[in-house]
Amino acid sequence: MIHELTCIGCPLGCALKVETDGAGAVVSVTGNTCKRGEDYGRREVTAPVRTVTSTVAVTGGKEPVVPVRTRTDIPKGKIFDCMAAIRQAKVQAPVAIGDVVLADAAGTGVDVVAAKAVEAR
Amino acid sequence: MKREIVIIGGGPAGLAAAIAAKEAGAQDVLILEREQELGGILNQCIHNGFGLHTFKEELTGPEYAARYIERAKALNIPALLGATVIDLGRENGALTVTFVSRSEGLVRMEAGAVVLCMGCRERPRGALNTPGTRPAGIFSAGTAQRLVNREGYLPGREVVILGSGDIGLIMARRMTLEGAKVKCVAELQPYSGGLKRNIVQCLDDYGIPLKLSHTVVDIRGKERVEGVTIAAVDDHLKPIPGTEEDIPCDTLLLSVGLIPENELSRQVGVEISPATNGPAVNESLETSIPGVFACGNVLHVHDLVDYVSEEAAQAGRNAARFVAGEIGSASDDSVKLIPGGMARYTVPVSVSPRRMAEQLTVRFRVKDTVRGGVIRVLVDGEEKLRRRRPVMAPGEMEQAVLKKEWFAGGEKQIEIWAGKEE
């Protein structure tokens, strides 16, 4: 089976063709212009992943919310579980970039970390 | 008071320009920023995808900004926050910058060189002539982005987005993640104005339909938006009667284009290019006024912050060379750059072979989608460069690199040609 994808690895947006066999295993990736594209093609048809970014409420800070991100990609199917956990989270100012805001988000094994510093009020 | 180099705006362009100017030897560089912190629009762009080019990793907007803010701090570059520049002028041959701020009051200073880094603004509803009432619930996508990402408010629950610019696509995903229902993104043109990767990861991932060749023809609601009517449009972008569809919603987001913010540039008399709405600049990114440089979204709207940083660093270095007297006034060997074929504009618009570096990146956009395309550089009709581009789209900036060795002197014109390979 041939899967036609647009690579999201970078803004070039290469048009990928990923061929899989009857068992769903990747046979080939074509159309990519870099290694990142090949990795994306392979993952996307087997176990797609995404980085989730959002905000978390801050108490006692100069700003009401702090932007956060999953430190690395998480399974695409876990995005909304991860968002539910992020929405419940709160963090106390001051916050530094990289501070763990939520450990092991939604059982993904990936931490949610602060993407910006917020000073205490 | 006199400053050596004044940078107007502390967003990605201003930060990169200031850092490069200082690193190039300028002693006295000052950033004027109207917000209370540096970083500009990156502070509300909390999604990832920034910095692949510059740092070889995918950062969020605030993380990307932080790298530059730290570098500026390490170089001891002063930044006045909450300082809004209200006038840029020329007096007895000197550039003058006037700003207001709560702490400093009204201040007027002379500047040896000025780098324009004011960014761009969103095209508002008023520019669209969309019929209908004027209820609450109509936001530009960037305003909604600020409300959600910086202030912690969700501005609506049931959303229609008009325009498929990147901010609209990013906000479709963001509102969805926060629990809103995004019913569709309507795009007037037959192609999206945003990056392909954003269609995939912001719309396709969440099953949000993209309706190309569609527009909003009516907005309903008295106090609050109650619904919009969308319709298909023909080849002349006119709504086709009978294709109207009512969509109940409480919010309409507009992502219908960005306009370089050149009010100050116009005040001082900088020549503006009608194709980009930004200053017409030469190879040094210098405007029609000597010593006034421009870079980033105030010059032309970019898709990628990485290219803004690169361009701004070039402008900053040139400002430093200008105040050191190294580049002198605009030279008489300037060669005109003209867009050819499907190329819509070029930045810069002229090149002095004498002043240019060994290589010079020319950036441009195409007017319409080109498949099986090619980019050619012709110097007085002679082809100097030919590069295949399988797909070119108006939403994605293209570039061509000029080489100093192509010029012997006396050239008249450089054509940057883009189109289908014949």
d(CA B19, CA B10): 11
Residue B242 has pLDDT above 90, yes or no: yes
Q: Which of B58, B149, B200 sits opposite A55 (nearest CB)?
A: B149
Range of the domain at B14: 1-122+258-330
Pairing verdict, β A65-70 and A74-75: unpaired
Q: What residues of B are in contact with residue A64 (Cβ under 8 Å)? A: 150-152
Q: Do B58 and A51 touch (CB under 8 A)?
A: yes
Q: What residues of A are in contact with residue B201 (Cβ under 8 Å)? A: 8, 50
pLDDT tens string B63-91? 999 999 999 999 999 999 999 999 999 99
Q: How far is A27 from chain B (nearest CA, A)?
A: 23
- Strands across the sheet with B335-341, in order? B350-351, B335-341, B413-420, B370-379, B382-392
Q: HSE (CB half, 13 Å, CA atoms) of A63?
A: 23
d(CA B226, CA B75): 53
Q: Do A65 and B152 touch (CB under 8 A)?
A: yes
Q: How far is A6 from chain B (nearest CA, A)?
A: 7
Interface test with A, best of B43, B197, B371 (most A CBs within 10 A): B197
The number of folded domains in chain B is 3
- pLDDT category, B53, cuts 50, 70, 90? confident
- Residue B374's domain is classified under what CATH number? 2.60.40
Q: What residues of B are in contact with residue A117 (Cβ under 8 Å)? A: 66
Q: Domain check: are B148 and B197 in the same one?
A: yes
Which of B256, B281, B300 finishes a domain? Answer: B256
Q: What residues of B are in contact with residue A8 (Cβ under 8 Å)? A: 197, 200-201
Q: Do B177 and A83 touch (CB under 8 A)?
A: yes
Q: Do A6 and B197 touch (CB under 8 A)?
A: yes
Q: What residues of B are in contact with residue A63 (Cβ under 8 Å)? A: 150
pLDDT, residue B395, reads 81
pLDDT, residue B410, reads 87
Contacts of B127 (CB under 8 A, 6+ apart): B256
- pLDDT category, B320, cuts 50, 70, 90? very high
Helix (H, G, I), strand (E, B) or coil at B93: coil
* Inter-chain contacts counted by CB atoms under 8 A, chains A and B: 76
Pairing verdict, β A15-20 and A26-30: antiparallel
Per-residue pLDDT of chain A (121 residues; tens, 9 = 90+): 999 999 988 777 888 999 999 888 999 999 998 888 999 999 999 999 999 999 999 999 999 999 999 999 999 999 999 999 999 999 999 999 999 999 999 999 999 999 999 999 9
Number of neighbours of residue B362 by Cβ within 10 angstroms = 22
Region B276-289: what's the mean pLDDT? Answer: 96
d(CA B329, CA A56): 51
Q: Do B62 and A65 touch (CB under 8 A)?
A: no
Model-level ipTM above the cut of 0.90: yes
pLDDT, residue B143, reads 97
**Lowest model confidence (mean pLDDT) among B85-89, B244-248, B323-327:** B323-327
Taking the domain A2-47, which CATH number applies? Answer: 2.20.25
Q: Domain check: are B355 and B304 in the same one?
A: no
Residue B9 has pLDDT above 70, yes or no: yes
Q: How far is A22 from chain B (nearest CA, A)?
A: 25
Residue B354 has pLDDT above 90, yes or no: no
Q: Domain check: are B157 and B13 in the same one?
A: no
User: Which chain A residue lies closest to B389 (C-alpha atoms)?
Assistant: A12
Q: Domain check: are B104 and B32 in the same one?
A: yes
Under an 8 Å CB criterion, which residues of A touch B?
5-11, 13, 15, 50-55, 57, 63-65, 67, 69, 76, 79-80, 83, 87, 97, 115-117
Q: Do B396 and A50 touch (CB under 8 A)?
A: no
Please give the C-alpha separations between residue B336 and each of B46, B280, B298, B375, B385, in angstroms, as whole numbers.
40, 12, 22, 18, 17
Q: What residues of A are in contact with residue B369 (Cβ under 8 Å)? A: none
| Sign of the CA dihedral with B316 first, then B272, B10, and B196 last | negative
Q: In chain A, where does DSSP find H-type helix? A: 35-46, 79-88
pLDDT tens string B111-129? 999 999 999 999 988 888 8
**DSSP per-residue codes, B226-259:** -EEEEEEB-TTSPBPTT--EEEE-SEEEE---EE
Q: Do B150 and A65 touch (CB under 8 A)?
A: yes
pLDDT, residue B64, reads 98
**Lowest model confidence (mean pLDDT) among A39-53, B30-44, B221-235, B317-331:** B317-331
- Residue B324's domain is classified under what CATH number? 3.50.50.60
Domain-wise residue ranges, chain A = 2-47, 53-114
Q: Domain check: are B112 and B10 in the same one?
A: yes
Does residue B240 contact residue B234 with C-beta atoms inside 8 Å?
A: yes
User: Among B148, B160, B145, B173, which residue's Cα sits nearest to residue B220?
Assistant: B160
Q: How far is B200 from chain A (nearest CA, A)?
A: 7
User: Among B157, B163, B126, which residue's Cα sits nearest to residue B141?
Assistant: B163
Interface test with B, best of A30, A34, A35, A69 (most B CBs within 10 A): A69
The label of the residue with tokens 């290219």 reads B307
The CATH H-level (homologous superfamily) assignment of domain A53-114 is: CPE0013-like (3.10.530.10)
Number of neighbours of residue A108 by Cβ within 10 angstroms = 20
pLDDT, residue B394, reads 86
Which of B223, B256, B289 finishes a domain? Answer: B256
Under an 8 Å CB criterion, which residues of B touch A?
43, 46-49, 52, 58, 60-63, 66, 148-152, 177-178, 195-197, 199-201, 205, 303-304, 391, 396
pLDDT, residue B195, reads 86
User: Which chain B residue lies closest to A87 (C-alpha atoms)?
Assistant: B178
Residue B390 has pLDDT above 80, yes or no: yes
Residue B173 has pLDDT above 90, yes or no: yes
Q: Which of A51, A64, A83 sits opposite B48 (nearest CB)?
A: A51
Q: Domain check: are B262 and B354 in the same one?
A: no
Q: Do A53 and B63 touch (CB under 8 A)?
A: no
User: Which chain A residue lies closest to B194 (C-alpha atoms)?
Assistant: A11
Residue B330 has pLDDT above 70, yes or no: no
- How far from the centroid of its chain's Cα atoms is residue B145's Cα? 17
Q: Do B58 and A52 touch (CB under 8 A)?
A: no
Residue B270 has pLDDT above 70, yes or no: yes
